[in-house]
Chains A and B, each alone.
Chain A
Amino acid sequence: MLRRPASGTVTLQVDGQAVTAREGDSIAVALLANGFTVTRATAISGSARGPYCLMGACFDCLAIVDGQPSVQTCMTPVRDGMRIERQGGARRR
């Protein structure tokens, strides 16, 4: 896993759970820093997916951000108070 010792000053809600992030993190990096590797379940088979390329190319890190679905979390900077929900079908957790 990827890890980061120090926590930041930005607070996010991930599926209702409060986690901290650093100013300048993308949402995807903040999720990984907090041990979340799954961001969505695919529409086709419902299998779990998470950040893969972190540079806006693969579209696997899509999640619901402040109610907006299919946001590329690797290309979206964190903001204090952001609500992130993992999106998808049957296997959403």
Chain B
Amino acid sequence: MTTDLVIVGAGPAGLSAATEAAAQGLSVVLLDENDGPGGRIWQALESRGAMNAEDAAALTVIRQFRACGAAAHWGATVWAIEPDGTVFWSRQGAAHATRSRYVLLATGATERPLPVAGWTLPGVMTVGAAQIALKTGGLVPDANTWIAGQGPLLLLYTVQALRAGGRIGGILDLSDPAARWRAGRHLPAAALRFGGDLWKGLRWRQEIRRAGIQWLRASDLRADGDGRLQRIRFRTAGGMREEAADLLLLHDGVIPSMQIPRAVGCPQEWNHAQHCWQPVTDPWGATSIPGMFVAGDGGGIRGAEAARASGRIATLGIAHACGKISARTRDEAAASPRATLARLASLRGFLDHLYPPLPIRLKDATLVCRCEEVSAGQIRRAATLGCRGLNQLKAYTRCGMGPCQGRMCGTTAAEVLAEVHGVPVGEVEPFRARFPTKPLVVGELAALEQMAEHG
């Protein structure tokens, strides 16, 4: 049996796409690695319940999806997609193959790695990780926790953690003061349309200040300890400082999750405003790979509301390609989500300028590749020996060849090569990705083969 559409990822983009696709009469299978709908931003929202108007609106999207009749598999990890539309996925150690005419990748974003000295020590995590622990398990930080980096998620998590009864030792603002001035240029356009959102950011800052949390401008951060994090060191205007810490949360914004688009072979482009790679798509989210579409933050970071809009737009494009709706119906239905995207563009421009990636000043000893334990110094040496791209770097150093397949080191390793060669980082060839994009055991593959022979 061939389904019309497989959607990978059940965040805002995937859920909106599934609901729209079911409404257009397409047969849909939604696959997600988590144990329920919502992606990261709305993770466990059904069990947590709505705390504010934004949550309530998100719950409505989830409920509409629950009622739409699309098939969904939770705990389902996609590990390969064939050019003919066969999607391979595993759940609880059993592999499955789903044949489809169209695939929509709604795989969202990952946090931009922020490598500081000692970032591999247990007790150093990302802000996104702590937020997942809060949303799914109600875990809150205690006073020996420090948060470092920049970006809206850092502010949001801090406020959420404080409201949930958590405590925080201090916040290290690692951002570039000059970026504030550059972003100011985009402020009038953003303020005109998004007064509320900008105000929200200021209110978070104020709430953090009122809670008495130290907010320090810092640089040269390092994590230290014997087998686990015990203290952090950093430079402030007043010189080097040391603080006891058993949890350090790092954050430097988010970037599209490129593993599956790359493995499928989607052409990719460097987004100069957001300093990251993203798949090349047409206005409907279609890539140049036949039948393969992208929606949501995986196609470029625009946030949850834009993800919902782009999920609908891609589905309308797919419904038209399937022959379910005319070009005119498609275009008329897409007018409203397109207006949403246009409206959100000015806020994104402001945020992109306010939070450019933190300047990376890695010491030679700092690990870049966590899996294969390759340091910045090793990458610099490879570069001086003539290594110019990330795939070549694998042969030189094994950087990117561990189980994470370059997810954690790709952006940083490219920065290091660019720095040595004096070229823009967008000119450094990124890692190729190959299926399986997640490791699986041979038994899973063997069982799949038997299934194909017998069924």
Interface residues of A (CB under 8 A from B): 1-4, 22, 24-26, 29-30, 32-33, 37-39, 42, 44-45, 47-60, 62, 68, 70, 74-75, 77, 91
Nearest residue, chain B, Cβ from A21: B137
| Chain A hits for B120, CB < 8 A | 47, 49, 52, 60
Q: Does B282 contact A (CB under 8 A)?
A: no
| Chain B hits for A22, CB < 8 A | 137-138
Q: Does B426 contact A (CB under 8 A)?
A: no
| Chain B hits for A1, CB < 8 A | 123, 141-142, 144-145, 246-247
Is the CB–CB distance between B227 and A77 below 8 Å? no
| Chain A hits for B133, CB < 8 A | 2, 29, 32-33, 54
- Given A32-B133, A49-B370, A53-B126, 6 more A-B residue pairs with CB atoms under 8 Å apart are A1-B141, A38-B122, A48-B227, A52-B120, A54-B130, A77-B75
Instruction: State the main secondary structure of chain A at its contact with B.
Output: loop
Is the CB–CB distance between B122 and A77 below 8 Å? no
Q: Would you give the shortest CB distance from B427 to chain A, in whole angstroms?
A: 25
A-B contact count (CB 8 A): 127
Is the CB–CB distance between B403 and A54 below 8 Å? no
| Chain B hits for A70, CB < 8 A | 403, 439
What are 15 pairs between A and B in contact, CB < 8 Å?
A1-B141, A1-B247, A2-B140, A3-B139, A30-B137, A33-B139, A37-B122, A48-B122, A48-B228, A50-B228, A52-B125, A53-B111, A54-B125, A57-B408, A75-B33
Is the CB–CB distance between A29 and B136 below 8 Å? yes
For chain B, residues 390 to 441, give those with C-beta under 8 angstroms from any C-beta of chain A: 402-404, 407-408, 438-439
**How far is A4 from B122 in the complex, measured between Cα atoms in Å?**
19
Nearest residue, chain B, Cβ from A8: B137
Cβ 8 A contact of A44, one of B35, B44, B111, B373: B373
**How far is A22 from B403 in the complex, measured between Cα atoms in Å?**
29
Q: Does B151 contact A (CB under 8 A)?
A: no
Is the CB–CB distance between A29 and B128 below 8 Å? no
Is the CB–CB distance between B129 and A54 below 8 Å? yes
| Chain B hits for A77, CB < 8 A | 35, 75
Is the CB–CB distance between A55 and B44 below 8 Å? no
Interface residues of B (CB under 8 A from A): 33, 35, 40, 44, 47, 75, 77, 93, 110-111, 120-126, 128-130, 132-133, 136-142, 144-145, 227-229, 246-247, 257, 370-373, 402-404, 407-408, 438-439
| Chain A hits for B408, CB < 8 A | 53, 57-58
**How far is A30 from B93 in the complex, measured between Cα atoms in Å?**
21
| Chain B hits for A68, CB < 8 A | 93
**How far is A75 from B228 in the complex, measured between Cα atoms in Å?**
23
Cβ 8 A contact of A2, one of B93, B139, B371, B402: B139
Nearest residue, chain A, Cβ from B228: A37
| Chain A hits for B403, CB < 8 A | 59, 62, 70
**How far is A24 from B125 in the complex, measured between Cα atoms in Å?**
21
Nearest residue, chain B, Cβ from A4: B139
Is the CB–CB distance between B123 and A55 below 8 Å? no
Q: Would you give the shortest CB distance from B125 to chain A, in whole angstroms?
A: 5
Is the CB–CB distance between B128 and A55 below 8 Å? yes
**How far is A43 from B370 in the complex, measured between Cα atoms in Å?**
11
User: Which of A2, A53, A54 has the most chain B CB within a 10 Å cutoff?
Assistant: A2
**How far is A30 from B228 in the complex, measured between Cα atoms in Å?**
18
| Chain B hits for A48, CB < 8 A | 121-122, 227-228
Is the CB–CB distance between B129 and A52 below 8 Å? yes
Q: Would you give the shortest CB distance from B441 to chain A, in whole angstroms?
A: 8
Chain A to chain B: the 8 pairs with minimum beta-carbon distance, closest first: A50-B122, A54-B129, A59-B403, A37-B122, A2-B139, A29-B137, A54-B132, A59-B404
Is the CB–CB distance between A51 and B129 below 8 Å? yes
